[in-house]
Every structure is written in structure tokens, then in C-alpha cells.
Chain A
Amino acid sequence: MAEQPVVEVREISKHFGEEPTRVDALRGVSLDVYPGTVIGLRGPSGSGKSTLLNVIGCILEPTSGSMRLNGELVYDGKWLRADLRGLRLEKIGFIFQSHNLLPFLNAWENIAVTRILAGASPAQARTRAIELLTYLGIERRKDAMPGQLSGGEAQRVAIARALANDPRIILADEPTAALDSQRAGTVMDMLRKVAEEHRSAVIVVTHDEKIFDRFDHIYSLRDGALEPAAGAVAEIPVVG
């Protein structure tokens, strides 16, 4: 394959506590996600989906294994970068179930703040924010506060915020859970568009069956281990 995976997870394990109360949240998970693909993670509550997302998002330190993001080895038994927030700012965009827009910033400011945190000037950040709002079709709502946006609009602003620094990895946690079928479909279409046009890897944690057919690959987590999902649209591309 010509392109390298954007996300390479190898034998990642994570356990909480010690014996006899130890909980194995992830057990030897390996996963490659390629540019331009949208993959889904499903599984029952407590199966390890959020733990895996937190590990890939460099929020939670694994117990063992290794991980490479956009070609950079960031974890190999320990974090290899001290500035994990800087790493997230640079490489990862997050989309949340309840959009998590900052309530005291309007739509364009919510997007621009990510860019400003990365070092852009306010003027540059604003220009980029307006570009993204236009790209996602809600430029007319640029001055609206989060409370004035509909669920779909707020989620589009959240997607725009995730794209502000042109990350190669986008992690979405139940992005359609609060949306109806039509809006959920729109959001997934946008994630697909973003993945293809920005050559990003999009990983979506979801329970939402109505969007299962929107993924290039879908993985199922059970008791902390990846397994082929029943009815998945694709097979697991890399295991071990």
C-alpha cells in the first residue's frame, strides 16, 4: 500500500487497578487507520470503546504496547512526548456527542480559538474559521452563540472546530447520538467529505445503527478486545 496508516496501534493494553480488583479495559488491541477512511468502533457499555478513543487521543496512558500517530512514534511503553496537549493540538481533532462548544464564544470564535491556541493570529484564525463555516454550509450562523444553534448546526460547528488546525486524525465520540436520522446522515456525510478531501483518518465511536453503513470499516470491542463486528461492512484490516 502506498500510503502509511495515520493511526498505528500495536498490542495496546490498559488496565485499571491491581489484582484482585484489576479491570482490563483494553487487551492487546492493534489497529491501523489509513488516510481518507472513516472507521467505526462499536460495542456494549464498558467494552473499552471510550478507553481506546482516549488512548488514541493521548488523554489516557496505556499500560503497554505502542502507538504511532501520523508517522510519529508517540507511545512505546511510555509517552515519548512530554507535551501531549501540544500533540493533540497539532495532530488530532475531537468531535463530541454533545458538541461541547464553549458557551461564551460564538460559532466562529469556537473554531478560531483552536487555531489561536496553535499560535495563529486572531485575524488568521478568524479567516480560517469563516472558511470552515462556509465549507460546512453554515457561514450565515457565524455570529450565533451555541445556545442559538440547532443540534445539527452546533455539531457542524464542532466539526469545523475539529478541522481548524488541519489535523490528520479526527476522533468522534457518538457524534450523531443527539441527532435525528436525517441530521445524523448529514454529519456522517461531512465526516466522509472531510476524510476524503483532507486525507484524514476519522474514528467514530457509535451505538447508532442507522449510520453503520457509512463506515469503511467497523470494529466491535468486547471485553477490551477487538473482534470482527457482526454485519460489518468490512473486515478488520490489521490484527496483531
Chain B
Amino acid sequence: MNLALKDISHNLGRFLLTCLGLSLLLGIVLAMVGIYRGLVVESLGLVRAAGAQVWVVEGGTRGPFAEASRLPGDTREAIAAQWGVAAAGSVSYQNIDAQHRGQTKRLMVVGAQIARPGEAPLVVEGRPILRSRYEAVADRGAGLVLGEQIRLGRDTFTVVGLTSGLVASGGDPVIFITLRDAQKLQFDLTPAAARREAVRSAGATATTDTVNAILVRLLPGVDANRFAQDIVRWKHLAALTQDDQEAVLARSVIDRARRQIGLFTTLLLTVSTVIVGLIIYTMTIDKKKAIATLKLIGAPDRRIVGLIVQQAIAMGVISFLTGAALIGAGHGYFPRRVVLEPADAMALFGVVIVACLLASALGVRTALKIDPASALAG
């Protein structure tokens, strides 16, 4: 006869209502962990999709994902001519607001060269960009369909291909256009006053042929670190290996999000623990007479402790499973990508069980202090 389950079934409505509230909290915790995982996948997704081994960027910078990086467009040719380079491609990255079906969409525009590193990877529908002007490959997350036209800056682009799950670290869907179009887009979008100023100060030598990075693929057997070190000798350039680039992204973008999400997750788990503790304490107070009676008739302390701890764990397990089910069913409706990994769920489950054990401590302490003689008091 399990006294904990008997007591739960006696107060089933209240218990389940508490579990429902707690499950929402735990569901949010799980969702936040999932959002963090999604952020990592999305952030690294764009970097990894580029398929580069070395990123050549402006000297003294850590690349376009961490800070502004501008290189003259002809740097690509100089890099491509280096020993060990299999292919090199210039890329530009730019966030813009685009009007689409009467709505403003925030997009990450990637300008890349056709058939060179940086162009749209793995087109899942349609084809890659083949014409040098006014074609685009968009991610499905942008809500565009094949053949659809979208206005970016002053030009209209036709969607010829679609990718899947490719977004920037901020969550904006990615749209690929040619580098030439992207450079024009950058210039078109500059405010008129700034453009006039640029023309005035630079005169006839003003150019829009700048890129944010040059992506390099190396021949087999060429060491990426060595190659990067060689490039850094050119004082106006910096070079990062793919691992460096991912680490920079992790530090500059993901790390802050991890700390923010970690803080909220800790707060939510603390609140959950306090709630479980208070509920279990209240349930123990409600059972004071019953516990005194059990002690009086001879129930050992382990039975009393078991009664309380089992209820706390039952509350944690039911709440966790309900929360996980809610998030599992609803994560597709989140505005950010939520990646639910079994390992994270298991870890959170462990944390919840530990939290429930801690939370039950107050109830256990109270129960152990109950005087069996109090059962005799009218």
C-alpha cells in the first residue's frame, strides 16, 4: 500500500493543478534550453554551410560575424593565387528589411560568387543561382516560394531555389544573391546624404567593390592553421580557420545568449524548486494529524519520509513529463528554432529530481518534528 499515491489520489484535483502549473514552468525551461540549442545550430549553420577552411577578413578584426570587416574586392584574386588554395570566393553579409506580401521581413542577405565558396549550399528545391543578376536562393524560413519575386533595395529578385534551416545567428532567414547584386544593394541602401558624402570625399576613385570576407577551400593536405598564419603576414589581412570562426561566433554571439538563457533557466528552476517546496510543505502541514497518528501507531520514520519524498518526486516527474509533452507538441509554433535533444531533457529531468528532493527537505523536517502525542489531542 503506497501511502503517497493514496494521499495524492485523495487530493487529486489539487495535485494535478499544481503539476500543471509546474509543468508550464518546466516546459519553459526545456524550451529555453531548446532555443539555446537552436541558436547554436542556426549560428553555426551559416558558417558551416559556407564550406570554407579559412576565412580571410579585414586585418585586426575577427570577421563579419563579430564586427565590421571590409576588404577590397580584388583581394580574392590575390588569395586565390596563393599556393595550396583550391578555391576562393568573396562574400558579403547584410541584414535588411524587405517588403513581402504587405509585410516587412527581416532577412540576412548573403552575397556570394557563383560556383565559388560561399554560394548557397544544398538547394533543396529549385536550382542554384546561374545568372549574374536578379536571382535569389532563399531559405524556406523566409516564407518565399519558387518563382516568387521579392524587392530588395531598388531591384526585384526572382527566387530560383530554396534552402532549409539556414538562418543567421539573430534568427533572420538567409537569402543568397550574387555578390554583384549584394554590393549594389549595399550602396542603394545607404542614406542619400551618406552617399553624397561618399561621392564628394572619394571623387572619381570611389568604389563599391568591397566584400566582408574571402572564403578559402584548400587543397588536400594543406594545413589550414599554417595557411592562416601565412596570410596574417599581410598586415592588412587577418585569417581565421573554420574552428577559429566557430569559436569567435560562440564567444561573441552564442556565449551571451548562453549566459542570458542560463540565468533565466536557473531562475525558473529556483522558482520551481521553491514552488515544489511550498506545496510539499503545505501538503505536510495538512497531514500533520495523519502523520502524528501514523507515528503513534508505530510507523517508522522512513515510512513518513518516504510518503513526503515520493510525493515530491511524483510531482516533479508528472510536471516534467507534462511540460516536455507540451513543448514537444508546441515547439514548432515558437518564433525561434527550438532544438530538443534527448540528452538535455535527461539532464533537466535529473535536475528536477534533485530539486524535488531538496524541495521536500522542509516537508520532511516538519514531518519528523511532529510529536506523535499530538494525535491524542482532541
Residues of A participating in the B interface, judged by any CB pair closer than 8 Å? 50, 53-54, 57, 59-60, 85-90, 94, 96-98, 100, 102-105, 109, 112-114, 116-118, 122, 125, 145, 161, 173-174, 177
> How far does the Cβ of A75 sit from chain B's closest Cβ, in whole Å?
16
Chain B residue nearest in CB terms to A93: B297
Indicate with 1 or 0, residue by residue over B1-16, a CB within 8 angstroms of chain A CB atoms. 1010011011100000
CB contacts (< 8 Å) of A94 on chain B: these are 296-297, 375-376
CA–CA, A94 to B7, complex, Å? 22
Q: What B residues does A104 contact at CB under 8 A?
A: 3, 6-7, 9-11, 290
Chain B neighbourhood of A114, CB < 8 A: 297-298
A123 to B9, CA, bound (A): 21
Q: Is the CB of B378 within 8 A of A116?
A: no
Q: Does B323 contact A (CB under 8 A)?
A: no
Least distance between B29 CB and chain A CB atoms (Å): 31
What mask results when residues 294 to 310 of chain B are scored 1 for a CB within 8 Å of chain A, else 0? 11111110010000000
Among B295, B297, B372, find the residue whose CB has the most chain A CB atoms closer than 10 A: B297
Interface centre among B1, B294, B375 (most CB of A within 10 A): B1
B1 touches A86 (CB 8 A): no
Residues of A within 8 A of B293 (CB): 96, 100, 102
Quick one: CB contact mask for B22-64 with A, threshold 8 Å, 1 for yes? 0000000000000000000000000000000000000000000
Smallest CB–CB gap between A163 and chain B, Å?
12
Q: Which residue of B lies closest to A171 (CB)?
A: B376
Shortest CB distance A230–B (Å) = 25
Q: Is B289 close to A, CB under 8 A? A: yes
Complex interface: chain A residues within 8 A of B300 (CB): 85-86, 117
Closest B residue, CB atoms, query A161 = B297
Report A-chain residues with C-beta under 8 Å of the C-beta of B376. Answer: 50, 53-54, 59, 94, 96-97, 173
CA distance A64 to B299 in the complex (A): 27
Which chain B residue shows the least CB distance to A112?
B1
A139 to chain B, nearest CB (A): 19
Q: How large is the interface on B (under 10, 10 to 19, 20 to 34, 35 or more residues)?
A: 20 to 34
Q: Which of A60, A89, A96, A103 lies in contact with B375, CB distance below 8 A?
A: A96
29 pairs, CB–CB < 8 Å, chain A vs chain B: A50-B376, A53-B376, A57-B296, A59-B296, A59-B376, A60-B373, A85-B300, A87-B298, A88-B297, A89-B297, A89-B298, A94-B376, A96-B293, A98-B378, A103-B10, A103-B290, A104-B3, A104-B7, A105-B1, A109-B1, A113-B3, A113-B294, A114-B298, A117-B297, A117-B298, A117-B300, A125-B1, A174-B378, A177-B378
* Contact assessment for A122 and B298 in the assembled complex, using a CB-CB cutoff below 8 Å: no
How many angstroms from the CA of A122 to the CA of B3 in the assembled complex?
13
Query: Which of A90, A96, A173 has its CB near the most chain B CB atoms (within 10 A)?
Result: A96
Interface code B192-203, partner A: CB below 8 Å = 1, 0 otherwise?
000000000000
B170 to chain A, nearest CB (A): 53
Question: Which residue of chain B has the shortest Cβ distance to A158 in the bound complex?
Answer: B293
Chain A hits for B6, CB < 8 A = 104-105, 109
The 8 A CB mask of B364-378 against A (1 = contact, 0 = none) is 000000001101101
A60-B373, A100-B293, A102-B290 in contact; A116/B298 too (CB < 8 A)? no
B1 surroundings in chain A (CB, below 8 A): 105, 109, 112-113, 116, 122, 125
Q: Which residue of A lies closest to B374 (CB)?
A: A59
Chain B, residue nearest A174 (CB): B378
Contacts A105-B6, A113-B3, A117-B303 given; does A97 touch B290 at CB 8 Å: no
Chain A residue, CB-CB nearest to B372: A59
List the B residue with the shortest CB-CB distance to A164. Answer: B297
